[in-house]
Amino acid sequence: MDWMLMPLRRYAEFSGRSRRKEYWMFALLNVIVATVLSMLLLAGGFSMAALEGGAPPEAPGVLFWIGALLFAVWALAIIVPSIAVTIRRLHDRDMSGWWYLGFIVLSMIPVVGFIASIAMLVIFCLPGTPGPNRFGADPKDPASAAVFA
């Protein structure tokens, strides 16, 4: 649980490095929260059939509005930590945070965006550079570089 909440504690820290574990645990936390909030939306009366024109839409219940409000608050609360942990993950691969902007721009191009998304996924799955790099000490073993220096 500590790894899931670490990006929230390092809310707007864009310098330094983040391990794969920190990035993927935060992603898992976001999936869990989104799943729970989606269940609230569904329990409150949200129906895809109403959107597709099947059944006449009914007024959503109180749980729907609570879920929608919590979903909006969560989405707004994790924007900055998500960007920060993504940039720190790129720093761990010894890449500038500006690469993230490049991936966002490339993702707006239909076919190129799909390829860029796969490339970004691969980059985030690769291990970080061992030892210190230009963005800081190795988060896995920050003391190892000083031992052999």
| CB 76, CB 83: distance < 8 Å | no
Containing structural domain, residue 46: 2-147
Decide if pLDDT at 31 tops 90. Answer: yes
pTM of the entire predicted model: 0.83
The per-residue pLDDT for 97 is: 92
pLDDT-derived band at 2 (thresholds 50, 70, 90) equals: confident
What is the overall mean pLDDT for the chain? 86
Q: Name the domain count of the chain.
A: 1
Contact call for residues 41 and 68 (beta carbons, < 8 A): yes
